[in-house]
Amino acid sequence: MARIHASIVDLIGGTPLLELQNYRRKRGLGARILVKVEYLNPAGSVKDRIAWALVRDAEERGLLKPGGRIVDVTSGNTGIGLAAVAAARGYGAKFYASDNISPDKIRLLEHFGAEIVKVENSFFLDPNALEKITERIRAENPEAHFTDQLANPANPKIHYETTGPEIWRDADGQVDAFVAGVGTGGTISGAGRYLRERNPSIRLVVSEPGPGSLPTEEDPYPAEIDGVHKVTEVEAFQLPGNYDGSLVDEVIALETAEAAEAARALAREEGILAGTSAGATLHAATLLARRPEFEGKTIVALLPDSGERYLNARAFRLAEPQAALQAAE
C-alpha cells in the first residue's frame, strides 16, 4: 500500500529513541542513556514540532490568512522550522536573531526564504531584552502574525501531546530521568509534565550554560551553546513564559567546551552528528548516569538538532585539537 504524504508537516514527530551502548560501555556508566534523536524531523530539529503547532494554532484561530506573514525572535532552530512550515503553507517569514548564532543557521533561514534582522548580541545583556525585542517586533511588523514562541501555550502543549508520549511509549514506560535544555522552555515543561504524570518519581533535569559560556559586557561574543539559556539566578520576568520551573528537580551547569566534547563523542562513538545543545544534554545525562542512585536506571536525553548547522561555529570546534583549531582560524 502506498504511503505518500501531502506536506512536510505530516513528517513531523515520531522520532526514534536510541540507546548509547558504545558511549555507556566506554565510560562504564551504571545507567542506560537513551537519546531522542530530534534532528530526524523534516527541517532538522525539535523546533519543527512547535513550528507547526504555532502555525496551526494561528490558522485555527483565524490569525493567519492565505499569503500572510509570520514573525518572531529566534536563536535559529525555531526560525528554521517556522520558515520551512511557512514555505509549505504559503506564508512569508521574518526573524530577529542574535548576530552570534551559528552562521550555518543564518544560511538555512535564508535558504528557506526568510528575512533575517540581526540583533547585536550585547542587546540581550539587558534584563528587559525579551520585553524590548517583543515590543520592537510588534511595532515594526504590525501586519504580520507574531508567533511568540517563548510564551505561546501551543508550544508546551505540542510537547505534552507528542514528545512526552513518544518517549514513554518507546521506552516502554521505563524512564527514571529526563534531561533537556531550555530555549523556549516548551520541551521540559510539556514533555516533562507528561512524563511526571506517568512516573511521579521521575527526575526532570535542565542543562544550562555556565558563566564562561555566557555573554558579558567585557566579552559579548563568547563561544555560546546556541539556543540554550540560563534559568538559575535569573529574575522570573527574564525567563521564557513557557518555562515551568516548578517541574524541574535539578539544573546542571556546564561550559561550551564540555558540550562540544560530548557532541564529538556522539559522532565518533555512536555515529550521531548532533549539535552543541545536544552535547549539553548528553553531558548532563552522563553526570547523572555516574551517580550510584542511578545504577540500573534509564535516563532519556533530548538531542535537539544536527551538528551540520554548527560546522562553521567556533563553539562546535572547541573539542578539536588546538593545532587544528589554530589552522582553521
Please classify residue 159 by burial: count the beta carbons closer than 10 Å to its beta carbon, then call 0-12 exposed, 13-18 middle and 19+ buried.
buried
3-state SS class at 93 = strand
Active site residue 306: no
Provide the 10 A C-beta neighbour count for residue 270: 18
Active site residue 47: yes
> Facing residues of 96 across strands?
73, 117
Q: Find the catalytic residue in 47, 94, 105, 157.
A: 47
Decide: 54 and 149 in contact? Cβ < 8 Å.
yes
Distance CA 308, CA 182 (A): 21
3-state SS class at 266 = helix
Q: Find the catalytic residue in 45, 98, 102, 277.
A: 277
Decide: 64 and 90 in contact? Cβ < 8 Å.
no
Residues 6+ apart with CB under 8 A from 65: none
Q: Which residue has the cell 560501555?
A: 25
Decide: 81 and 51 in contact? Cβ < 8 Å.
yes
Distances (CA, A) of 12 to 5, 33, 95, 235: 11, 24, 21, 34
Residues labelled as active-site residues: 47, 277
